[in-house]
């Protein structure tokens, strides 16, 4: 423990009761609970430690002294000479550097003979003067005085218990307001019970059985010595009984309310409307008010959704102008508002009071999808006798949060149901006209997008035009004006292939007055999906994601219609090629099956499984597998497969680099984002590394299809055929479009995840402060830096992977000692068009950015330094104190600013949910094979049965058995490790 003097700015607040209690709370030796203390009047306090045995004594005394030394206080320990050695040894055993503390003057040991019995006898006036002098001397160089005193000497001397208790009582006034705090120790086995009664009476706070207790029996000095002590003690005892009874009744009332809340929420047989009605009845009873209601606010309109009570104007379905209601202040402030006595609080002249005549009111906002939905309120014509308590306000806030959650969940379920219904209809649409008509019908109906239009790209004229639109969009959505070539925002969105958000629509000719924002989502080469909102804040994140998912569904349908049209045209020209036509029909059926399955797929793994299973069942295809590209190692590893694999995937290595294993179809597909075909394995030189393995398994042709959407590579789909020349231009084109459809579907599924995930808050900072070492490094070297990943180590520290562009590894190593990290090492280094790029790894120190963020409840998501400035994106919990986090961040890095704050959602699973769903990803056949193998002893050592024996018992081949076992194991491992990473 350091005893160096500290700067003024580093000093902690002067000692007080809370700091003393905190010291005991943090003590590992102090085992019991610590009761918080309310109602004390002393800024500094006087403790009595009543203990049994040295272990219990030192469990309180040592941490009490340790904290004083750490806070820069002077600590004094008073005891008999024979006790001082014992306490000194106890302090050393518990990590206190006694010698250094004594040498610095921060710790002194005093005997009873030099203090309480100085001059040979006890004198209360002398002791009071001694402590006053000690406080003055201590505060000259220290923060205050902390005293710990033993009292066993009283039992052996001439001092009476009554005399010493009178002195102890006087010291309460002597310490009041002074920078001092004292802990007096009384041995429960040594002092008689009648003496301990007075000990309890004269100390404001007691420590007994490792518990700090607020002393209800404490008698102030003016009463302890006064003639009215018995009467006042009776009053205090009666008041204590009354307060404890009231507290118990209040606790019981809160418990009953919580029990009732839980009972309502847990009722699976009740609808949301029924639960809401019961909550309104419960709240009315909890607040002892006449009326409870939920109101929906839209613009300036106020509508009662549900209500309980007898007020004639507050009934279900009643509407009013928001400005004339009590709820206006809740909506404007977006916070809880309460009125205890309207006439005394200046409400009688307001229109709301004149209209509704409510003398008491409490209301909280209800927020759905980041937008204010309305208010949850309780009110009465009678004023309240007491103000609304903190417990009552908390009850209303929690109830409001539950209502918000249920409304949002219901809203999202409705959206998902509407999307599924539209997807089913679009799957049956055979032409673009059918797709447009169905999309507009759903937008006007179940999707709740009344201002929607489909803008079509005309290939012949090279222009955009409105193909179909909702009824309101025809009058209020100026798509024609926004589509002007080549400068309109819709044209720009189409040509760039990127969505555009237009915020200044209302001022345009023909636009609706209430439109606040317009979103234009490209539909590939087909055109645009355009929709507008009238929400005051424009599109929230959840609404925009829903619009994006809707557009992706329409785009998928358009792509499917394109494929069907192309297939139809090609079938007309291939009537004389019966064998090819038959095969294409089977492919077409497979694509249709895949397309239908993709609409219902809920995960990326399900999509890939469906695709592989469907393709592997279509001759002449033998094997289909989806590979994942590792950008660090450049390896392409199988993620999903189906068909006659026969150990092929275990026998080969596929990469996407300059090695021979990277020159084949998969590697080139990753590199070019274009389909790659090998129509004859025997004579194609690029297939040489895998030729023998492929031919031994009957594979004679191969196609690799990159799964790309929005320039994002989701993987590579590889298909193998049992005869050469299969993948001609027509088949290649069909499968390429299938690859696009799969990519679209994966993107749509990934987008839908946000609709049902937990919400977080995303904070984006711009940091130019060189206290963030990577900023200084980037400026000094002129490089750009980017965080690639953070991995927790077993020792509790974080290991970080960063990439640097524009600096050589040797130059980077020279800066390693200046970074808030250790064990800095370069993982890889290469050049990109003459620009050095290196990936390095390091163990972060406590002062690092990531550790600082994590320590304050955040999670770094993005850290990048470009042009000497860092962009840091951090995720915190949705209910975290954002202001506090931002202040902490700016305190650590003063030359930084918060540039964006966004709500985001991340999927979460509890361990129980994870265990319940661990096998959901397995197909029925994979689960059957895995269970049969497990119970058949296949995984035992030695094995109870071989793979061939189990396969024979299931009437399947051993290669098929191996395929299913490996697929199941891989899926279980993915579930296990990816879930663990999400929990981290």
Helix crossing, 81-93 with 54-70: angle to 10°?
Answer: 70
Phi first, then psi, for residue 20 (nearest 5°) are -65, -45
- Average pLDDT score, the chain: 81
Whole-number pLDDT of residue 917: 65
**Among residues of the chain, what percentage have pLDDT more than 90?**
19
Give the Cα-Cα-Cα angle 735, 739, 743 (nearest 5 degrees): 165
* pLDDT reported for residue 38: 45
Query: Rounded to whole angstroms, how far apart are CA atoms 292 and 285?
Result: 10
Q: How far is CA 223 from CA 123, 232, 833, in A?
A: 22, 7, 88
More confident residue, 134 or 257: 134
Which has the minimum average pLDDT: 80-89, 289-298, 547-556, 947-956? 947-956
**What is the model's pLDDT at position 647?**
92
751-772: average pLDDT: 72
The predicted pLDDT at position 702 comes to: 95
The per-residue pLDDT for range 459-509, each reduced to its tens digit, is 878 788 888 888 888 888 888 877 777 777 888 888 888 888 888 776 677
pLDDT band, residue 239 (cuts 50/70/90) = low
Helix (H, G, I), strand (E, B), or coil: what is residue 241?
A: helix
Instruction: Yes or no: say if 73 and 144 are a contact pair by the CB < 8 Å rule.
Output: yes
pLDDT digits (tens, 9 = 90+) for 387-415: 888 888 888 888 888 888 888 888 788 77
User: How far is residue 153's CA from residue 191's CA, in Å, rounded to a whole number?
Assistant: 11
Ranges 34-48, 186-200, 778-792, 814-828: which has the least confidence: 34-48
Write phi, then psi, for 563 (nearest 5 degrees). Answer: -65, -40
The first and second tokens of residue 221, run together, are 């000095």
Opening angle at CA 281, ends 277 and 282, nearest 5: 115
**32: pLDDT strictly greater than 60:** no
Q: Do 826 and 838 form a contact (C-beta atoms < 8 A)?
A: yes
Residue 120 or residue 236, greater confidence: 120
- The whole model's pTM is what? 0.37
The span from the CA of 94 to the CA of 79, in Å, is 19
Query: Average pLDDT, stretch 422-451?
Result: 84
d(CA 748, CA 601): 10
Question: Is pLDDT above 80 for 648?
Answer: yes
**CB-based contacts of 561, cutoff 8 Å, min separation 6:** 429, 430, 431, 432, 435
114 CB-near residues (< 8 Å, 6+ apart): none
pLDDT of residue 244: 59
Mean pLDDT value across residues 539-554: 85
Average pLDDT over residues 813-833: 81
**DSSP characters over 122-161:** --HHHHHHHHHHHHHHHHHHSS-EEEEEE-GGGGGSS--H
User: 362 - beta bridge partners?
Assistant: 338, 378
SS3 625: strand
List Cβ neighbours of 12 (8 Å cut-off, separation of 6 or more). Answer: 19, 71, 72, 143
The pLDDT confidence band at residue 757, using thresholds 50, 70 and 90, is very low
Q: How confident is the model at residue 596 (pLDDT cuts 50, 70, 90)?
A: confident
Percent of the chain with pLDDT over 70: 84
Q: Which residues of 871-908 are buried (b: 16+ CB within 10 A; e: fewer)?
A: bbbbbbeeebeeeebbebbbebbeebebeeeeebbeee
Mean local confidence (pLDDT), 424-448? 84
Examine the pLDDT at 645 and tell me if it is beyond 60: yes
**DSSP element (H, E) containing 585:** helix 578-600
Question: Residue 564: what pLDDT?
Answer: 82
Round to the nearest angstrom and report the end-to-end CA distance of the chain. Answer: 34
Contact 731, 584 (CB under 8 A): yes
- Looking at residue 687, its pLDDT comes to 93
| 386 — pLDDT class (breaks 50, 70, 90) | confident
Q: Provide the pLDDT confidence category of residue 12 given band limits of 50, 70 and 90.
A: very low
pLDDT recorded at residue 37: 42
Whole-number Å distance between alpha carbons of 783 and 770: 14
pLDDT digit string, tens, across residues 21-30:
565 666 665 5
Rg of the chain over all Cα atoms, to the nearest angstrom: 38
Q: What is the per-residue pLDDT for 655? A: 93
Instruction: Give residue-wise pLDDT tens across range 97-112.
Output: 999 999 999 999 999 9
Q: Are 873 and 899 in contact (CB under 8 A)?
A: no
Number of C-beta neighbours around residue 563 at 10 A: 21
Q: Is 13:19 a contact under the CB 8 Å cutoff?
A: yes
pLDDT for 232 beyond 80: no
In terms of Cα–Cα distance, which of 151, 118, 137, 139 is closest to 44?
A: 139
pLDDT at residue 577, rounded to an integer: 60
Instruction: Enumerate residues 6+ apart whose C-beta is below 8 A from 961.
Output: 929, 933, 947, 948, 950, 951, 954
Confidence of residue 5 (pLDDT cuts 50, 70, 90): very low
pLDDT value of residue 703: 95
Give the pLDDT band (50/70/90) at residue 4.
Answer: very low
* pLDDT at residue 772 tops 70: yes
Q: For position 509, what pLDDT does the model report?
A: 73
Q: Would you list the DSSP string of 70-97?
A: HTT-EEEEEE-HHHHHHHHHHHHHTT--
Mean pLDDT over residues 622-644, rounded? 90
Q: Please give the average per-residue pLDDT across 161-169, as a whole number.
A: 86
Lowest mean pLDDT among 72-76, 233-237, 274-278, 282-286: 233-237
Asked which of 577-586, 752-761, 854-863 is least confident by mean pLDDT, the reply is 752-761
pLDDT in tens, 710-743: 566 778 999 999 999 888 888 888 899 888 888 8
Residues 268/279, Cβ–Cβ less than 8 Å: no
pLDDT at 637: 92
């Amino acid at each position: 423990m350091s005893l160096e003097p500290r700067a003024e700015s580093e000093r902690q607040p002067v000692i007080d009761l809370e700091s003393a209690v905190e010291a005991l709370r943090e003590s590992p030796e102090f085992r019991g609970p610590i009761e918080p203390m309310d109602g004390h009047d002393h800024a500094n306090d006087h403790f009595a430690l009543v203990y049994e045995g040295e272990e219990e004594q030192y469990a309180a005394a040592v941490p009490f002294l340790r904290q004083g030394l750490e806070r820069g206080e002077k600590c004094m320990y008073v005891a008999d000479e024979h006790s001082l050695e014992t306490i000194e040894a106890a302090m050393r055993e518990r990590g206190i550097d006694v010698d250094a503390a004594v040498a610095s003057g921060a710790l002194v040991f005093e005997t009873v003979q030099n203090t309480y019995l100085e001059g040979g006898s006890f004198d209360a006036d002398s002791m009071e003067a001694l402590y006053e002098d000690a406080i003055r001397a201590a505060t000259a160089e220290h923060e205050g005085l902390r005293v710990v005193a033993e009292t066993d000497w009283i039992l052996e001397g001439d001092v009476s218990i009554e005399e010493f208790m009178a002195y102890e009582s006087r010291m309460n006034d002597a310490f009041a307001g002074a920078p001092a705090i004292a802990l007096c120790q009384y041995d429960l086995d040594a002092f008689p019970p009648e003496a301990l009664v007075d000990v309890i009476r004269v100390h404001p706070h007691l420590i007994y059985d490792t518990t700090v207790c607020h002393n209800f029996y404490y008698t102030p000095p003016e009463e302890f010595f006064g003639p009215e002590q018995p009467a006042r003690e009776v009053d205090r005892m009666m008041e204590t009984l009354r307060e404890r009874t009231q507290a118990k009744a209040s606790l019981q009332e809160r418990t009953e309310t919580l029990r009732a809340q839980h009972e309502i929420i847990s009722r699976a047989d009740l609808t949301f409307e029924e639960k809401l009605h019961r909550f309104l009845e419960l709240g009315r009873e909890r607040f002892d008010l006449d009326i409870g209601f939920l109101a929906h606010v839209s613009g300036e309109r106020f509508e009662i959704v549900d209500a309980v009570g007898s007020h004639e104007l507050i009934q279900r379905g009643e509407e009013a102008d928001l400005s004339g209601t009590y709820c206006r202040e809740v909506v404007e402030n977006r916070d809880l508002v309460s009125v205890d006595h309207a006439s005394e609080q200046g409400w009688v002249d307001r229109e709301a009071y004149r209209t509704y005549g409510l003398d008491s009111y409490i209301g909280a906002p209800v927020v759905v999808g980041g937008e204010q939905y309305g208010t949850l309120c309780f009110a009465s014509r009678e004023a309240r006798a007491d103000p609304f308590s903190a417990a009552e306000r908390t009850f209303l806030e929690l109830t409001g949060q539950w209502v918000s959650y249920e409304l949002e969940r219901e809203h999202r379920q409705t959206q998902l149901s509407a999307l599924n219904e539209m997807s089913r209809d679009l799957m049956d649409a055979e032409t673009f006209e059918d797709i447009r008509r169905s999309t507009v019908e759903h937008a006007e109906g179940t999707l709740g997008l009344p201002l929607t239009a489909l803008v079509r790209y005309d290939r012949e004229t090279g222009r955009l035009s409105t193909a179909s639109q909702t009824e309101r969009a025809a009058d209020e959505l100026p798509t024609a004006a926004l589509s002007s070539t080549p400068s309109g925002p819709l044209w720009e969105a189409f040509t760039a292939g990127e969505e555009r958000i237009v915020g200044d629509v209302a001022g345009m000719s023909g636009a609706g007055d209430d439109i606040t924002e317009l979103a234009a989502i490209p539909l590939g080469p087909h055109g645009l999906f355009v929709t507008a909102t009238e929400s005051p804040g424009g599109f929230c994140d959840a609404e925009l994601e829903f619009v994006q998912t809707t557009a992706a569904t329409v785009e998928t349908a358009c792509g499917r219609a394109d494929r069907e049209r192309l297939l139809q045209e090609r079938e007309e020209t291939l009537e004389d090629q019966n064998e090819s036509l038959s095969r294409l029909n089977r492919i077409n059926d497979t694509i249709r099956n895949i397309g239908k399955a993709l609409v219902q797929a809920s995960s990326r793994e399900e999509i890939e499984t469906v695709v592989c299973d469907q393709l592997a069942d279509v001759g002449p295809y033998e094997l289909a597998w989806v590979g994942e590209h590792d950008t660090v190692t450049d390896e392409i590893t199988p993620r999903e497969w189906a068909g006659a694999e026969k150990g092929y995937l275990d026998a080969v290595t596929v990469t996407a680099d300059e090695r021979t294993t990277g020159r084949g179809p998969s590697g080139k597909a990753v590199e070019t984002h274009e389909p790659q075909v090998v129509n004859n394995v025997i004579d194609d030189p690029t297939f040489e590394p895998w030729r023998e393995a492929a031919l031994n398994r009957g594979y004679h042709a191969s196609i690799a299809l990159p799964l790309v959407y929005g320039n994002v590579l989701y993987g590579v789909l590889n298909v193998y055929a049992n005869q050469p020349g299969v993948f001609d231009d027509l088949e290649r084109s069909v499968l390429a479009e299938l690859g696009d459809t799969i990519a679209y579907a994966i993107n749509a599924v990934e987008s839908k995840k946000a609709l049902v995930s937990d919400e977080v808050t995303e904070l984006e900072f711009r940091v130019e402060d060189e206290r963030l070492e990577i900023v200084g490094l980037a400026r000094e070297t002129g490089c750009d830096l980017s965080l690639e990943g953070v991995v927790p180590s077993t020792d509790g520290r974080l290991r970080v992977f960063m990439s640097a562009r524009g600096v050589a590894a040797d130059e980077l190593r020279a800066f390693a000692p200046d970074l808030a990290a250790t064990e800095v090492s370069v993982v890889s280094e290469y050049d990109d068009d003459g620009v050095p790029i290196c990936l390095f790894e390091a163990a972060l120190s406590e002062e690092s950015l990531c550790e600082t963020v994590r320590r304050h409840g955040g999670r770094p998501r993005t850290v990048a330094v470009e042009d000497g400035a860092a962009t840091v994106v951090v995720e915190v919990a949705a209910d975290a104190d954002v202001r506090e986090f931002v202040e902490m961040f700016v305190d650590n890095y003063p030359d930084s600013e918060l540039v964006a704050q966004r709500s985001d959602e991340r999927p979460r699973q509890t361990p129980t949910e994870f265990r319940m769903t661990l096998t959901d990803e397995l197909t029925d056949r994979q689960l059957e094979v895995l269970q049969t193998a497990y119970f058949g002893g296949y995984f035992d050592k030695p094995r109870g049965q071989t793979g061939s024996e189990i396969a024979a018992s299931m009437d399947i081949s051993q290669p098929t058995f191996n395929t299913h076992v490996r697929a199941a194991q891989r899926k279980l491992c993915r579930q296990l490790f990816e879930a663990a990473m999400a929990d981290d």
